[in-house]
Amino acid sequence: MVGITSYGGYIPRYRLSRMVIVQNMAWYFPVIMAVAGGEKSVANWDEDAVSMAVAAAYDCMNGKDRKALDGVSLASTTLPFADRLNAGIVATALNMKEEGVSNADFSACMKAGTTAAISALEAVEAGKKDSVLVVASDQRRTKMATMLEMFYGDGAAALLFGKDDVIAEFKGSYSVSCDFIDHYRGAGKEFDYGWEERWQRDEGYGKIIPEAITGFLNKSGMKIEEFDKVIYPCYFGGTHKGIARKLGIDKEKAQNNMHAVCGDTGTAHPFVMFVAALEEAKPGDKLLLASFGQGCDVMAFEVTDKIKDFKGPKGIKGSLANRVELASYQKFAKFRDLIVADLGIRGEANPNTALTVLWRKRKMLLGLVGVKCKKCGTPQFPPMPVCVNPDCWAVNDFEDYEFADKDAKILMFTGDMLSASVDPPAVYGLIGYDGGGRTMLDFTDCDLNQVKVGMNAKMSFRKRYSDGMRGFTGYFWKAVPQVEGGDA
């Protein structure tokens, strides 16, 4: 049996009410008031498509052996590197093996995630691979006071494909490929350019998705009535319902498009909606997943009894529950680099990343891998040649020890208004890991006034810096204090 063996999701903590956008920008473009309902997910200033992909990947791989992966496929239209394997960054952050694996980037259209999924399933079916992780993630920038700013949200989702402990069996796929342009972003351009909405609705979503689903039904001999959930992206509410009517899908069987709670997360959105459906699925349910973007991929799955014992992922439901309202439109605009603000003299440093050091210390920097003393069992980060235990002092007698998935507690912290920060004050401090080990880290996704000594913290893979001169993004891990509620 081939299919999905795990899933995971990540929706950023910050949510921006569309009414906040209207209150700040409707003076310039009043039409946005027509879509002022609900809220959109917003990535923090230190997040991007890769960092969110790592979060979704870790969620998906919770309780799974990351060393057993045969490959990672990353789908996105907002990858930070045009000539560097972005999936390789995710793989290194997961501390995967490097031998005998095949990692790949899928990009250039909104259905890249489902295309990557079909490719992974075909490899597993053919026996060429046993376990493939597919992650889709997007963080799309938009111009201010536009309909796209109202529609787009940020997020990521991951699916693990294999043959063991399958929770949703793969039942087949069908694809339509056509150069229908509802929007595009030219090479080197910052923002998407969208054609008129009527074109997108009527000739795009409204025709191509039904055509592809009908093609799948004709090919497979299955009927739409057999499916308990039909999942397809479309942020136009009326068109989303119209597609259901056109195909004869019962209203309760059409998966909610999630526009009101996070917006359209781009390449990730079919997976985001699908994971949300899987979280509510029960054995025997049949799920039909369709994507959209220069055509449409359609995939069918049947949920197995293994879903009853499946535990672990925070998933989309957990991410949506972990929300903080971003009340400031100006802060959102700065997070997106839509406004220019001075970081001061301390923010003028433009370091050249030493690629030699990054290579030699890739496990430590990207995977948060430290060491554990073989003699006394003491973990430590960063790795050093001498054991930090004063009763041991063993030299060069260590094994690798992963800290990225370890819980921690805050031992001390400070808020620094003098350090250059996009979201001042810069908060950082000393954390102690459950099971041993201490290190200094930057904190993120937190309000200084809510952080306390002794508070639990989790690790999160984030952007550490952006070298605009050379086009390089540096990543490292930060601590996320487990604060509940509040505004940003």
Q: Would the pLDDT of 88 be above 80?
A: yes
pTM of the model: 0.96
pLDDT mean over 196-219:
97
Q: Which of 109-123, 201-215, 217-231, 303-317 is least confident?
A: 303-317
Q: Are residues 313 and 419 in the same domain?
A: no
Confidence band of 323 (pLDDT split at 50, 70, 90): very high
Number of domains in the chain: 2
Q: Would the pLDDT of 336 be above 60?
A: yes
Give the domain extent around 457. Answer: 406-481
| Residue 446 counted as domain residue | yes
Q: Would the pLDDT of 361 be above 60?
A: yes
| Residue 443 counted as domain residue | yes
Give the separation between CA 163 and CA 126, rounded to whole angstroms.
Answer: 11
Q: Would the pLDDT of 319 be above 60?
A: yes
| Residue 367 counted as domain residue | no
Last residue of a domain, one of 335, 357, 383: 335
pLDDT mean over 52-61:
98
pLDDT mean over 350-362:
91
Of residues 348 and 82, the one with the higher pLDDT is: 82
Q: Are residues 25 and 107 in the same domain?
A: yes
Confidence band of 488 (pLDDT split at 50, 70, 90): low
Scanning 26-107, the segments in alpha helix (DSSP H) are: 49-60, 86-93
Q: Are residues 85 and 233 in the same domain?
A: yes
Q: Are residues 218 and 98 in the same domain?
A: yes
Last residue of a domain, one of 278, 313, 335: 335
Chain-wide mean pLDDT for the chain?
96
**Residue ranges with strand state E in 225-312:** 229-231, 286-290, 295-303
Q: Are residues 171 and 45 in the same domain?
A: yes
pLDDT value of residue 136: 98
pLDDT value of residue 353: 86
Query: In the chain, pLDDT over 90 holds for what percent of residues?
Result: 94
Last residue of a domain, one of 297, 318, 335: 335
Q: Are residues 256 and 117 in the same domain?
A: yes
Task: Convert the pLDDT of each residue in 443-452 to its tens digit.
Answer: 999 999 999 9
Domain with residue 54: its CATH number is 3.40.47.10
Q: Would the pLDDT of 393 be above 60?
A: yes
Q: Are residues 48 and 162 in the same domain?
A: yes
pLDDT mean over 298-302:
98
| Residue 351 counted as domain residue | no
pLDDT mean over 176-202:
95
Q: Are residues 47 and 175 in the same domain?
A: yes
Q: Are residues 331 and 212 in the same domain?
A: yes
Specify the length of the chain in residues: 488
pLDDT value of residue 345: 78
pLDDT value of residue 209: 98
| Residue 326 counted as domain residue | yes
pLDDT value of residue 420: 86
Q: Which of 292-296, 309-313, 362-366 is least confident?
A: 309-313
| Residue 123 counted as domain residue | yes
pLDDT value of residue 343: 81
Q: Are residues 319 and 427 in the same domain?
A: no
Q: Are residues 331 and 442 in the same domain?
A: no
pLDDT value of residue 312: 75
Task: Convert the pLDDT of each residue in 396-434 to its tens digit.
Answer: 999 999 999 999 999 999 999 988 899 999 999 999 999
pLDDT value of residue 349: 77
| Residue 341 counted as domain residue | no
| Residue 111 counted as domain residue | yes
